[in-house]
Each structure stands twice: as C-alpha cells, then as structure tokens.
Structure 1
Amino acid sequence: MAKDIRVVVSIDFGTTFSGFAYSNKTNPEIITNDSWPEQQGVFKTNTCLAYDDNLQFPKWGYPALAQEPPKKKKAMAKPQPKPVELFKLHLADVKEDEKPLLPPGLDAKKAITDYLHEMNKLICETLNSRWPGLRYPAQIRFVVSVPAEWHHEAKATMRECMYNAGYLEHRQSENLEFTTEPEAAAIYCMKSLSEHRLSAGSSFMIVDCGGGTVDLTTRTLLHSMKLSEITERSGDLCGSSYVDREFLRFLGKKLGYAAMKQLKENHYGQMQYLVQQFCSRVKFSFNGNPNEYNTKDLDIERVCPALMQYVTGRAKEQMEESEWLIELDFQSVKDMFDPVINKIIELIQRQLASTERRCAAMFLVGGFSESSYLQSQIRRHFMTKVPLIAVPKHPIAAIVRGALEYGLNMEIIQTRVLKFCYGVEVSAKWEKTDPQERRTPAGRIFRFHKLALRGVEVAVDQKFYYTAGPVVPNQTDMTFNIFITPDSNAKYCDEDGMRMLGKMKIDLPDPQRGKNRLVEFTLTFGTMEVKATAINKRTGQVYESSFVLEF
C-alpha cells in the first residue's frame, strides 16, 4: 500500500449524480461534502457538463443543466452551451445505439476526465482549507465506487481518467482503490443492523438503486463488525434514468419517434430540460396511489418549443387542437415506472433464490430508493419473505460514506464471492477423446485449467495452486496465460466469454535438467486485486504480477 496516507477521499461517480466524502485517518470523522457550485446543503451534484462549440466546458454539476428555453429572439440567437449527461453509461456493457448521445468530437473518456478534473479542483480546495500543508494528492488515498457489473476494461478506463484528471501521480499509483457500489452500501448499512437488533450471523441484502444501474449483494455480518459475501453480486441497467427513457418513449408515441430523434440530435439541451420538468413535477413525487395523483399538463410550447417544428401529420393536428398540451395521467406515468421496477423486482427474486440462507433484512439505498412507489412495490412483493425492508438514513449518501469506511479499514471485508471462473491455459497431451481439430503438430492440446470457480466464496488472501513443468526438455522459459470466464464448465481459452486477465513469463534455467524443473503457480485473491505468483521450486526464484480483481 502507499505510504504516508493522511486523508482518505471516497468518490461516488454516479450516472446522474456524483459526490465525495473525506476523513483524516488520525481523527476518522466522516464528512460528506455538501457544498457545490451554485448548490449548498446537498450531498450530491448533477453528473453533467456544459460545453461550448469548441468543447470547452464553462460549467459542471448543477449549473450545467439545461435552462428554460429563452423567449426573446436575441437570447435565442445566442449560442447555447451543449449539456452532456449520462456519459458514465458509455463504460457499461450496453449496445452502441443505446448509449447516450455525445456532441461530435467528444468521447466518453474525455467527458469523464473533464468532470473528474473539475471535482478534483473542488476536493483539493476543500482539503487544503481543512488541513493546510497537506501534500495533494500524494498523501491522499482515493476510493472510487464502481458498478458491480463493470469489467476490467471499464475500471482500467476509470483509472486512466483519474490519472488524467490529476488525482494520481502515476497511472499505477497505489493511492487509488476500487470498491463496488453494493459493497460500499453494505458497509454503510452495517451500522444500521444494531438498530434493528440484527446480530452476528444475520444475512442481509443491499439493493442499490442508482440513476443508471441497480446493484444487489447479500452479506453476512461476522463477529468484530466485519462482512462476508455469500452470493454473487448481480445488477442491471434499470436505474431511475430508465424511467426518464420511458417518458421520452411515451412522447414518441404521441408526437412521433422521428420528431423525438431530431430533437435529441439538434436540441439536446431542450430535450434535457423537458426531462427535468418531468422529474420535478411528476417523477419525484409519484407514489403509485391513484387517489393522490393529479393529472399534470406538459406545455410543449413553453418547455420545449424546438420540438414543435418536427411534429408532422396527424400528430401535429392533434397537438394543435390541444394547444400543445400533453396530459400526464396516472396510468401513463405508472406505465413509465413499471417496466423499470419490474426488472428490479426480478433482480431481487433471483438474488433471494441464489442462497439457501434466510435473508433477515433488505436495505434500499441510492437516489432511486427514495421513490415511494419503488419502496411500496418492493415491500408488496417481498414482505412475506424478508422480515425487514428498510431505507437507512441518507440513502443517497450510502455509497460514498460506505466507500470511505472501506478506505479507512480495508479489512472490514472478509470474504467475496467470485463472479468469474479463474484459470490458466495449459498444454496437455492430446487424447483420442479430444477434438481432432485441436490437436497440435506436436500431438498436444491447449486446455483451460480451472483454479477458482465462479460462485465460490473466497477469503481475503486465499490462495489457489497449480504446479507445472516444461513441455519439452530444453525449454528455457514458461508463460502462464491467465484467463477468466463466466462459464465454470469452459474447456478451452477461445470459447465465448473467455477473456485474458494477464500473462506472466518466467525463466527456466538449467535446460540440462530436462523436464525436472517444476514451477508452483499461485493465484491469491486480495481485497481488490488478484496476485499471480510463480516460484521455481529448484532455484527459489519468485515472479509476481497483480491484476484488478473482476468482482
């Protein structure tokens, strides 16, 4: 680990909102930042940037949100900044045509770096005002929470963006740690267990409902206030922004999908403002009770005048008859929520079914968890299966505060459940039962040799061994190709879903000894990385390499 760490900073870089918290290791009081550009008293600001035509960004966070369309002709003639949102979703495993639109010339990596750079300036100013003389960033440990389903490539991109944004002195700095969003949420909720009289041995589920993703994990509370993971983490893209997407789809049915597409391509700022109006007037307060809902009128001419020029045919005639007012009645709004909430319900059902242990409690965290309709639907489906379903204090800050707790005490996590099968590629003698097409000219076959299986609960620093030797007597080196796959029954390293995690090349001196030169290969699963070690059993020479743990 990095030396001389004085302060820990956690960053919750979210799809729709982001925040940070910090603590001095000497006096570990957790402070969640609540001061942002043009915002005070809130734990998060909008994950949003506003670019000009030269892709310079004068605004970030709340000030970057699209404003109400100007009414005066002079104001309309002025170039409007291009607001950019949801760019985190470009790191998720989604189809290209489903990723949010970015302005020409801007890629997701630049947008993420630009946003983190602005946040970095605020973090630096905040810490230096509290602890003058602090060497920034050398004396800071940064803990970044990431979605459970992110792969190595996404985390590697995030590390590069952190480096380019000024958080790290070099790309492979040990001052950066990752934790999953549900893991951070579980650590935060752990402190609530005593309030509900849950003791060591109790299992509880965390349902983290964010803007883009919903992540789930089930943990068991151990003695000494530590956590064990008992199920494989799961998640999907069904956060609150997907309700917004259903709202835009609803408008497409009314006004024409072609019209909505042109609006998105040519007037993204106005489309964003339209979504903001839906959120503030309808989405945030919707509780699923028809007796408490009043139909809302959406005035397209006022909140999104650019859309009117693209509406044609029968849709235009109907809108002119209704004076460009769209009714958002109860059933229409419910239909926007239900596809998203149903996916969350299905995720919870699968998570409960993945273990035979009784789930004593379920905690809902993340910004979307504050939706009373989502809460009521989860309770309706699971109140007979889970005795306690609760929303802890400050659910929107659960991840950033839990990530900070992890950064202060990384031993709090005792076990993890592997989401992938880990192994190495080996050269074995070809047998008659093997596929003929896989036989090499030397009469051998390359197989995937499993070391650690998917779904296995592993303790921190648990080791998995494999002993190998040279294939030919005069061999002078050996390469271990390390692969991961979601398929525990995989046999070969070129199958679908198989990915190379890394490789390690070692020397094999003394070729005169032939094949009598054994090497012990070990995979050790640490807190957030897997370490590969190869030891030449004759010479004692040790080779080591570390890779980001696919959690």
Structure 2
Amino acid sequence: MPFRSPYNGIHRKLVLAFDIGTTFSGISYSILDPGLVPEIKGVTRFPSQEQVGGDSKIPTIIYYDNTGKVCAAGADAVREGVEDSIEDEGWTKAEWFKLHLRPASSRVTHKLPPLPKKKTVIDVFADFMEYLYTCARTYIQDTHANGGDLWASVQNHIEFVLTHPNGWEGAQQARMRRAAVRAGLVPDTNEGRARVHFVTEGEASLHFCIQNGLTTAAMMKGKGVLIVDAGGGTIDLSAYGQSKSRNKFSFQEVASPQCHFQGSIFVTNHARTFLDVLLKDSKFHEDVGHITKCFDKTTKLRFRNMDEPQYIKFGTARDKDLQLGIRSGQLKLKGADVAKFFGPSIECIVKAVTEQRKCASKPISSIFLVGGFAASDWLFSQLKTSLEPLGLDFCRPDSHVNKAVADGGVSFYIDHFVTARVAKYAYGIGISHHYDETNVEHKKRSSRRYEDASGYELISRGFSIILPKDSQVSETTEFRSPYNYTMKSIESFRNELEIDILCYRGLSEKPEWTDVDTDMYSTLCTVKADVAQFKTTLRPQLGKGSRIYFKLNFEVILSFGLTELTAQLSWKENGEEKRCSAEIVYDYDIIESGFDVEDSAEPDEESETDVDQESAKGFDDEEGSKMETGSEKADKALDKVDQSEKESETVVKKEAENELVKGLGKESMEDLDTASNKDFDKMLEDSEVSNVKGSAKKLDENFDETFKMMVDNEEKDSDIDKDKDCDKAFNEVSIKVSGKAVGDGGDDEFVVI
C-alpha cells in the first residue's frame, strides 16, 4: 500500500463519492484537514436499513406519487409494509434508471423498466443524488464528535466524485453534472460545477485495489494488471501498468478500456425468460414477476454447483404442481439450467479479457474481480477455471468488493494514481480538401465540388484526426491541428465559432472520409468559442482570378488527459500565439420545456421499453441529425449558397476591391495595377496570399517572376486564361518551394462552416 501524504490545503474540505449503481448504490467520504493524512470511510447506515454493517449498500430505487413527489428511496423503498402504500396510493417505481443514461452507441438487448411519467433521467438522478446527500449529511453528523459543527465547517467546501461505467462519455458526464446542480449539491456557477468530478468505475476500482495492496506483487515484476468490475448493469474492464517514476506512485492505462452490458441484472432477465416459458399456460404464470424477484434475492446469490438442483422459494405450502417441479411453494430447477443464465456474462468476460491481453502495451499477469456481481461464487469459479490455464493469476479481494467503486472514487480525488489514459476512439472534425482531379478519392466525390470565397474548388466530407485511436494520453498532453475557413467580406465574419468534434468508432486505422463507415461516426460534442478578437488578424487576400477574400487561421486544441474533455482555440497575432477557452456543448444539454429531448415522450408505465429496437432506433435517428450539422450540411446548402453568391458576387467583389485599395493607400484599382513591384510584393505579404510551407519571401519572388512572364504573353489576355495562368503559376511555385501543389491536402484543410 503506497504512503499517503498529509493534506496540504489551507482549509478543511469534504470529499463525497457517490457510486450510483444499476441495482445498488453506496457512499464513501473523507474529511480533509490541513496537515493530517486523509482516511477513507464509508456510509454504513441509511434510513430504514435492516442490516447495518461495513459492507452495506442500498437499492437504487425511487418511488413517486401521482404528483411526481419522491415518496421513498433506497432502503426505505424496500422496507416492510411499503407494498401497501404502493398499491393504495398508486406509487410509480423507478429502477435501473442508470441505464437510460447510456451513450447512443451502447446497445442493450434486454428490456428496461421505463422511467415514470413526466420524469426525465436527469430528474430521477437528481432526486436520488439529493437522497444520497441527505444520508451522508445525517451519517456524518451522527457518527463524528461535534458532528453538527463539523458539517457546518465543510458544507460549502464539498468536492463531489461521481463514478460511471467505462463506456460513458462527455455527454453522460454533462447530464450527471446537471443532475447534481438540480439536486442542490452545487450552485449553477462555474465554481460550483467545477466541484463535480468524474471517474470511471474501472479506474476507481484500481484505486481501491492499490489501497488494499493487491497490485504490488504484479507491478514489482513490471507486468500489467486487469481490473474487472462486475456490477449490476455493466462489466467494465481496465488494464494498467505502473509508470517508471521515482518520485510518484503512478499508473498508466495500457489498453483501451471496455464496457459491456452483461451485469447481474441480465442473469435475472435470462431467468425471467426461462420462467415465462416454463410456467406458460399454468396458474403460476401470473406470478412470474414475483418468482423472478425471489430468484434474484436468493437462488442467484447462493448458486455454486450446476450438478445440484436449485430451488426458488416463492409461495406457501399450498402451492403445488409436481409436473412443473413446484412443491410446498418451492420451484425446483436443474442446476444446468441456472448455469445457462450466467453463460452470456461469463463468455463476455472471458472474451473481453482475451481482447485486452492482445491489445495491451504491457503483458497482463493478474486479474482482479470486483463489484457487486463479483460476490457470486459461480461467476468467480467459472472465470477462474477459464482464465488460470492461460497463465493468469485470477483473484477477488477478500474485503467488501461491493464498496470498491465508492472507496476508489475518494482515492481517485486524494491520491490520483492514474496519470495517462488510452483513447478508445479516433477524434477529429469534418473538413473540406482542395479538389485535386488527379486524386482517385477526390474524383469519386467530384459531384460534391464547390467553390469557397477564394474561388478555389473544395470537396467536402473529409475527416481530420486530432487524436488517433489507442493513443496514450497524459494529463498534460495537448492534441492540436491547424484549420482555416474563408469569407468574402469582413462583414460576414461571425463572432462565435462552432465546430463539431466527431468520434469514429470503426475499425479503420486511418479514417479519412465521413461517407465511408458512415454509421461509425457520431458527434461527440460541439466546441463553441468567442472569436471576436480574431477579427483584428484578418487581412484581405487575393484568390483565384484576383478574387478578394478573407481567411481565418486557427488551431483546435483538445486535452483528453483528465477524465473530461477540454478545448481551446489558438491563433497567431504579431507572431505570438494567443488562446481562448472554448465551451464544450453536448446535444444532451438541450432542454425543451423542462424535458430532455430523448425523454420527452411519456412511456406506458405498465409496459417495458424494448431498448434494442425502439430506443436504439431513436438514438440512430438522433445521430444522423447530428452528422448532418457537420460537413454534410454544407453539401445540402450548396445550391442555395451558390445561387445567392452569384447574385451578390459583383457587389461583394467591388466592396472587397475598395477595401483592399483603401487598405493599401491607393485611390483606385487602376492605381493598384500600376503600382511598383515593391508595393505589389508588400500587398502579397500583407494579404498572406499563400500559406505554403517554406520561405514566404522565396514564394513571392518566384510567383512574381512566373506570373509576370505569363501575363505578358499577348495570346493569353482573356479573364479565363489569366485565371488559368495564375493557378498554373501558383502551383509551379508551390512545388518549387514546398514540393507540394495546392490540393494535396496537408495544410490546405478547411473547416466547413
């Protein structure tokens, strides 16, 4: 176990970690006093809880009345006698609501209970967070000396750590933060929202294992460890290796983490499907729901041997049907049938472990099984039998595995062991390239050619990668890439720039076009930045056919090292880099009439939602609309834009010419045409007519010489020929200076705005 340093803050602080699981939830905390070594403790007493102990967790359940008011939550929702209130007062139950927050790319093939009417997933999360907060406050006040004074000293200095599955992304984090604000945990300010932190369940479990000394032996040998967090809804796998650092006990991800929807609730779902078929056409068929609950609470937990019959106690001595195996209110099942309920989860874990070993940058020697599902002896024994022959050391902590995530969440904030993570997907933006008729990929897409403000032809649907898949990202690493976009006049400059960050989830190692593997692209978020200060950097430039235009050059800077994405934009001003922070906006942040778009429909409270068909279809439609807001939107708008541009081209060009003439201190274009070579050179330099790599001075000199020679040719005096000559001269000089002609890609990438 690594040594923990004393807290070096200037005032007392409280760290609260909420592990909101699919079926059960827990709370851990630490009081940080300046100069003292922090200790991690768990909340082990909740209202109406039957058993009070060190490993206690509460059900993730909420009941609402007809007005939408919370009537019971957690342990109070399963207390004796609550069924009477549920039936008499018509309460509505919310359970497994965590899975309604999953990403659009995550498919669940089982039915989920619907959310209560007029309640969004954020509403339910907020209500449950408020309940957990109240429980934590009461517990701390009751168990610590001078608890009331202690709480008063920290209530405005609480750092919240919210854990979530490995497969969740920024959109899910944004919604959880919004729920925390709605629950009153933090104020809706930048400072308040900054006190809500996120960590994956896999990384939290690693911190728990480190604190319990479980990773030391494997790490001493320079090997990697794999954490398998088996929970109620998801199976999360995370692989880590110890970093070579003399001054700090730190770890790095050595493989992209995985998340699978094969938690313990799906074992119960398989059992329900089996029972539904078994008891069909019998008088016990209407009791399938109750029998399934009995299986979940007893039989599933104690199952150990597939060669022995298993029993589900659900009724009284009068309940009997020997043909179905029911005697004295007890249903007899073959052990082999019960083993099949666990089969998909076991197969999923074994397959995922194999994949993690293949792609890990360090050999994995040890596997640690944690989480509530890890308490199943059958799951543990079957995984051990399958994995140990592969030379892997497979074990589970002998302490309370179901508190690993909550304790690890606090350790994440205090100890911060993980310093580098692996990108699960490729991230970038949709762009347009200069059209190159010699490029096969460009010719395939020639129907999508269009002219930008400079007069050159572009082709859309390109994908520019900013962060490649499987890149190891440290917390200080920045990923950046240069882009630009053009405009016909300074008046068309917009003070706010919006850029969609796209995520590619496919198998291609180097995706280049968004019209290939289209279903594998989705909009992760939109980066919004106030770029009004960029306006001072704009200068008039010469394009094709002496067309005047303006170009905004900037760089997109993304940081993925922390558990949340951050973004910035940068530009050059007088040779010095300037930056501005950008706001990250997710589609799920949109609220209409107080309801989230995804959850605005009211489900039938007596039915279940088929997530694999209906909900997934809704997600697919949503993703399609997201993609349309990127580069594809430009394609559909081209006809309208082209028409309006043709109508206003003469006026715009005249205005741009006047602006250029005025900026160069001339009175007319005729004066400009007769300007000396020195003035013309200065004009080219000021307007930055080319950003080709290499010496700008050499480019200008070669361009002047080549262009003058061609224009002096009397046989080429038409406007069209002059345009061709200008293009030819520009490309010839580009090749001389940089070895690359316009249209080869590289720096010539444009954000489609």
Common fold by TM > 0.5: yes
Matching of residue 524 in structure 1 with residue 551 in structure 2: no
- Work out the CA distance in 1 between the residues paired with 2:189 and 2:123: 16
Matches within 5 A, 1:358-397: 358-392=363-397, 393-397=399-403
- Work out the CA distance in 2 between the residues paired with 1:237 and 1:464: 31
Identity of aligned residues (%): 22
- What is the SS of the residue equivalent to 2:349? helix
Query: Which residue of structure 2 lines up, in the alignment, with residue 176 of structure 1?
Result: 196
- What is the SS of the residue equivalent to 1:440? strand
- Work out the CA distance in 1 between the residues paired with 2:421 and 2:15: 23
C-alpha contact 2:228 2:370 (8 A) present in aligned 1: yes
Matching of residue 404 in structure 1 with residue 405 in structure 2: no
Query: Which residue of structure 1 lines up, in the alignment, with residue 297 of structure 2?
Result: 280
Q: Show CA shifts across 1:99-153 (max 9, x none).
A: 2234444443332222221111112333455452535653011011100111333
Q: Show CA shifts across 1:324-349 (max 9, x none).
A: 75322312211212222222222222
- What is the SS of the residue equivalent to 1:462? coil
- Structure 1 counterpart of 2:472, from 443, 449, 457: 457
Matching of residue 512 in structure 1 with residue 517 in structure 2: no
Q: Is the deviation greater in 486-495 or in 377-386? A: 486-495
1:373 offset after TM fit, Å? 0.9
- Structure 2 counterpart of 1:467, from 482, 493, 506: 482
Matching of residue 6 in structure 1 with residue 24 in structure 2: no
1:431 offset after TM fit, Å? 2.2
Query: Which residue of structure 2 lines up, in the alignment, with residue 445 of structure 1?
Result: 459
Query: Which residue of structure 1 lines up, in the alignment, with residue 234 of structure 2?
Result: 213
Matches within 5 A, 1:312-323: none
Q: Is the deviation greater in 118-127 or in 487-496? A: 487-496
Matches within 5 A, 1:158-177: 158-170=176-188, 172=190, 173-177=193-197
Cα RMSD for the two superposed structures = 3.4
- What is the SS of the residue equivalent to 1:333? helix
Compared with structure 1, are the counterparts of its residues 16 and 448 closer, same or farther at alpha carbon in structure 2 (3 Å cutoff)? same
One-letter identity of the residue aligned with 2:235: V
Query: Which residue of structure 2 lines up, in the alignment, with residue 188 of structure 1?
Result: 208
- Work out the CA distance in 1 between the residues paired with 2:350 and 2:526: 37
The structure that is helix-richer by fraction is: 2
Compared with structure 1, are the counterparts of its residues 335 and 193 closer, same or farther at alpha carbon in structure 2 (3 Å cutoff)? closer
- Work out the CA distance in 2 between the residues paired with 1:135 and 1:424: 46
Compared with structure 1, are the counterparts of its residues 403 and 260 closer, same or farther at alpha carbon in structure 2 (3 Å cutoff)? farther
1:155 offset after TM fit, Å? 2.0
1:220 offset after TM fit, Å? 0.3
Q: Is the radius of gyration larger for structure 1 or structure 2?
A: 2
Compared with structure 1, are the counterparts of its residues 80 and 275 closer, same or farther at alpha carbon in structure 2 (3 Å cutoff)? farther
- Work out the CA distance in 2 between the residues paired with 1:15 and 1:451: 34
Compared with structure 1, are the counterparts of its residues 398 and 260 closer, same or farther at alpha carbon in structure 2 (3 Å cutoff)? farther
- Work out the CA distance in 1 between the residues paired with 2:119 and 2:86: 24
Query: Which residue of structure 2 lines up, in the alignment, with residue 334 of structure 1?
Result: 339
Compared with structure 1, are the counterparts of its residues 524 and 38 closer, same or farther at alpha carbon in structure 2 (3 Å cutoff)? same
C-alpha contact 2:528 2:585 (8 A) present in aligned 1: no
1:179 offset after TM fit, Å? 0.5
- What is the SS of the residue equivalent to 2:188? coil
- Work out the CA distance in 2 between the residues paired with 1:323 and 1:104: 39
One-letter identity of the residue aligned with 2:60: T
Query: Which residue of structure 1 lines up, in the alignment, with residue 279 of structure 2?
Result: 255
Compared with structure 1, are the counterparts of its residues 134 and 437 closer, same or farther at alpha carbon in structure 2 (3 Å cutoff)? farther
Query: Which residue of structure 2 lines up, in the alignment, with residue 420 of structure 1?
Result: 425
Query: Which residue of structure 2 lines up, in the alignment, with residue 20 of structure 1?
Result: 27
Q: Is the deviation greater in 14-23 or in 455-464? A: 455-464
Q: Is the deviation greater in 156-165 or in 436-445? A: 436-445
Query: Which residue of structure 2 lines up, in the alignment, with residue 544 of structure 1?
Result: 581
1:416 offset after TM fit, Å? 0.4
1:18 offset after TM fit, Å? 0.3
- What is the SS of the residue equivalent to 1:122? helix
- Structure 2 counterpart of 1:231, from 228, 232, 255: 255
Q: Show CA shifts across 1:311-330 (max 9, x none).
A: xxxxx996699787532231
- Work out the CA distance in 2 between the residues paired with 1:438 and 1:262: 60
Query: Which residue of structure 1 lines up, in the alignment, with residue 502 of structure 2?
Result: 483
TM-score (norm 2): 0.63
1:171 offset after TM fit, Å? 6.1
One-letter identity of the residue aligned with 2:301: F
Query: Which residue of structure 2 lines up, in the alignment, with residue 204 of structure 1?
Result: 225
- Work out the CA distance in 1 between the residues paired with 2:458 and 2:107: 39
- Work out the CA distance in 2 between the residues paired with 1:424 and 1:374: 43
1:80 offset after TM fit, Å? 6.3
Compared with structure 1, are the counterparts of its residues 7 and 493 closer, same or farther at alpha carbon in structure 2 (3 Å cutoff)? farther
C-alpha contact 1:535 1:542 (8 A) present in aligned 2: yes
1:227 offset after TM fit, Å? 1.0
Query: Which residue of structure 1 lines up, in the alignment, with residue 625 of structure 2?
Result: none
Compared with structure 1, are the counterparts of its residues 237 and 365 closer, same or farther at alpha carbon in structure 2 (3 Å cutoff)? same
C-alpha contact 2:303 2:310 (8 A) present in aligned 1: no
- Work out the CA distance in 1 between the residues paired with 2:323 and 2:206: 51
One-letter identity of the residue aligned with 1:342: E
**Number of matched residues?**
525
- Work out the CA distance in 2 between the residues paired with 1:538 and 1:213: 49
One-letter identity of the residue aligned with 1:483: L
Q: Which consecutive residues of structure 1, in runs of 5 or more, have no partner in the other structure?
A: 265-270, 309-315
Q: Which consecutive residues of structure 2, in runs of 5 or more, have no partner in the other structure?
A: 1-8, 542-549, 587-753
1:473 offset after TM fit, Å? 7.0
One-letter identity of the residue aligned with 2:240: R
Query: Which residue of structure 1 lines up, in the alignment, with residue 570 of structure 2?
Result: 535
One-letter identity of the residue aligned with 1:450: I
- What is the SS of the residue equivalent to 1:168? coil
Compared with structure 1, are the counterparts of its residues 67 and 102 closer, same or farther at alpha carbon in structure 2 (3 Å cutoff)? farther
Q: Is the deviation greater in 141-150 or in 483-492? A: 483-492
1:51 offset after TM fit, Å? 3.1
- Structure 1 counterpart of 2:97, from 87, 92, 101: 87
One-letter identity of the residue aligned with 2:375: E
Compared with structure 1, are the counterparts of its residues 300 and 479 closer, same or farther at alpha carbon in structure 2 (3 Å cutoff)? same
- Work out the CA distance in 2 between the residues paired with 1:262 and 1:117: 36
C-alpha contact 1:116 1:165 (8 A) present in aligned 2: yes
One-letter identity of the residue aligned with 2:406: V
Query: Which residue of structure 2 lines up, in the alignment, with residue 313 of structure 1?
Result: none
1:484 offset after TM fit, Å? 2.2
TM-score (norm 1): 0.85
- What is the SS of the residue equivalent to 1:427? strand
- Work out the CA distance in 2 between the residues paired with 1:203 and 1:548: 36
Matches within 5 A, 1:268-307: 271=289, 273-290=290-307, 293-300=308-315
1:543 offset after TM fit, Å? 1.3
1:367 offset after TM fit, Å? 0.7
Matching of residue 125 in structure 1 with residue 138 in structure 2: yes
Compared with structure 1, are the counterparts of its residues 420 and 546 closer, same or farther at alpha carbon in structure 2 (3 Å cutoff)? farther
- Work out the CA distance in 2 between the residues paired with 1:398 and 1:95: 25
- Work out the CA distance in 2 between the residues paired with 1:541 and 1:115: 43
Q: Show CA shifts across 1:421-468 (max 9, x none).
A: 121333331222310233224421232211111111111120122223
C-alpha contact 1:427 1:471 (8 A) present in aligned 2: no
Compared with structure 1, are the counterparts of its residues 492 and 252 closer, same or farther at alpha carbon in structure 2 (3 Å cutoff)? same
